């Protein structure tokens, strides 16, 4: 693991500090630390719900894009081990899908996973959401799952996502959100703020799984996130809660008119 300054949990695992100038490096160190166990841990911590969140997001997207046809060029931002990118490649035969992530250990896992993507092409590259190495309007679909809580400059990053989205193209993101029901919200917090960090500590990753609830507190909820998307130049923003609101699918589109002003 890369040696970085920053907080460490008692078990020595990294715990990124949002106030640190090294925050981006600390986030990478954290994802390097959990890269191997990330998929199985999420599966257990989400009580198996994670297997439906991503496919459901695509069903919602296809309804949203009705009349636009299947996307032919797709970017997965913060692809991690590549689950979302692989689903897109299977769903849109003939498409070209690129997954980017700044954490090499995640990209290695993505590249190692069985492709099973039929006629779609799938590629991986090291990059950050803040500086995407692609020309303007390159992708029919720009997507991302569970990444935004790691982005300190969300408004500017959304503008970067809009830049690489083709006119008429779509943005699809999935994020953890607070359930609306007060009772379920209390249960959600007990689970996320206490049980998940405890589970993380049990597998030698106390830092990352203490950072998880902390980082979610600084993540805008659906109304504020929708406003940020609109402010970044996206239109037709929709939010679709899943699993009683603990996850939200966000959909938006870059207006068709290529001359439409950015933010
Ligand atoms: C919680 S994982 C989600 C992975 C994957 N999208 C999924 O659905 O499982 C967050 C990912 O965001 C990546 N990440 C962190 N900071 C990033 C940044 N500034 N730009 C792009 N990706 C970033 C991490 O390396 C990590 O792979």
Q: Which domains does the chain have, with CATH numbers?
A: 37-177+221-253 (3.40.50.150)
> What single DSSP character describes residue 245?
G
Residue nearest to atom 15 of ligand 1 (CA): 150
Chain length of the chain: 263
Place of tokens 């805008």: 220
Structure tokens at 58: 């695509």
Local confidence pLDDT in tens for the 263 residues of the chain: 444 556 888 888 999 998 899 999 999 999 999 999 988 998 999 999 999 999 999 999 999 999 899 999 999 999 999 999 999 999 999 999 999 999 999 999 999 876 666 666 899 999 999 999 999 999 999 999 999 999 999 999 999 999 999 999 999 999 999 998 999 999 999 998 999 999 999 989 999 999 999 999 999 999 999 999 999 999 999 999 999 999 999 999 999 875 565 55
Q: How far is the CA of 78 from the centre of ligand 1 (A)?
A: 4
Contact call for residues 230 and 34 (beta carbons, < 8 A): no
What would the pLDDT profile of 173-220 be if each residue is shown by its tens digit?
999 999 989 999 999 999 989 999 999 999 899 999 999 999 999 999
CA of 197 to the centre of ligand 1 (A): 19
The residue whose CA has the least distance to atom 18 of ligand 1 is 128
Please work out, in degrees rounded to the nearest 5, the angle formed at the alpha carbon of residue 172 by the alpha carbons of 109 and 69. 105
Q: What is the pLDDT of residue 83?
A: 94
Alpha-carbon dihedral of residues 132, 133, 138, 141, nearest 10 degrees?
Answer: -40
Cα 104 to Cα 109, 127, 139, 174, 218: the distances in Å are 9, 10, 23, 22, 26
The residues with which 115 forms a beta bridge, in sequence order, are none
Which residue's C-alpha comes closest to atom 12 of ligand 1?
78
Q: Is 131 helix (H, G, I), strand (E, B) or coil?
A: strand
| Ligand 1 pocket by Cβ (under 6 Å) | 27, 31, 77-80, 83-84, 101-103, 106, 128-130, 145-147, 150-151
Q: Residue 257: what pLDDT?
A: 72
Distance between terminal CA atoms of the chain?
39
pLDDT at residue 7, rounded to an integer: 84
Confidence (pLDDT) at 115: 62
Distance 257 CA to ligand 1 centre (A): 31
| Closest residue by CA, ligand 1 atom 19 | 128
The first and second tokens of residue 145, run together, are: 């799952």
| Residue 3: per-residue pLDDT | 47
Q: Which two tokens stand for residue 116?
A: 């099973």
Query: For residue 28, how far is its CA from the centre of ligand 1 (angstroms)?
Result: 9
* pLDDT in the model for residue 1: 42
pLDDT value of residue 260: 60
> In the chain, at which residue ranges do the beta strands (DSSP E only) sit?
7-8, 14-15, 73-77, 96-101, 121-126, 139-145, 165-176, 235-242, 247-253
**Residues with Cβ < 8 Å from 49, sequence gap 6 or more?**
243, 246, 247
Nearest CA to ligand 1 atom 16: 150
| Number of the ligand 1 atom closest to the C-alpha atom of 28 | 25
Site to probe by mutation for ligand 1, drawn from 46, 80, 218 as the one with most ligand atoms within 8 Å of Cβ, is 80
């Amino acid at each position: 693991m890369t040696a970085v300054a920053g907080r460490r949990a008692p078990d020595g695992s990294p715990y990124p500090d949002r106030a640190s100038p090294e925050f981006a490096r600390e986030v990478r160190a954290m994802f390097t630390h959990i890269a191997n166990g990330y998929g199985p841990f999420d599966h257990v911590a989400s009580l198996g719900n994670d297997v439906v969140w991503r496919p459901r997001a695509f069903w919602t997207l296809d309804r949203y894009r009705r009349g636009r046809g299947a996307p032919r060029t797709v970017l997965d931002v913060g692809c991690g081990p590549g689950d979302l990118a692989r689903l897109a490649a299977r769903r849109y035969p003939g498409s070209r899908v690129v997954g980017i992530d700044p954490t090499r250990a995640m990209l290695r896992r993505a590249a190692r996973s069985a492709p099973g993507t039929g006629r779609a092409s799938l590629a991986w590259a090291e990059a950050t959401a803040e500086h995407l190495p692609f020309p303007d309007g390159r992708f029919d679909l720009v997507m991302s799952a569970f990444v935004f809580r790691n982005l300190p400059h969300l408004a500017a990053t959304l503008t970067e996502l809009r830049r690489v989205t083709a006119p008429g193209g779509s943005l699809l993101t999935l994020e953890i959100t607070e359930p609306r029901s007060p009772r379920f919200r209390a249960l959600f917090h007990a689970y996320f703020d206490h049980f998940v960090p405890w589970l993380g500590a049990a597998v030698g990753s106390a830092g990352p799984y203490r950072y998880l609830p902390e980082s979610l507190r600084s993540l805008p909820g659906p109304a504020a996130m929708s406003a940020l998307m609109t402010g970044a130049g996206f239109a037709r923003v929709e939010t679709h809660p899943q699993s009683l609101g603990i996850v939200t699918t966000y959909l938006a589109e870059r207006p068709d008119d290529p001359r439409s002003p950015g933010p």
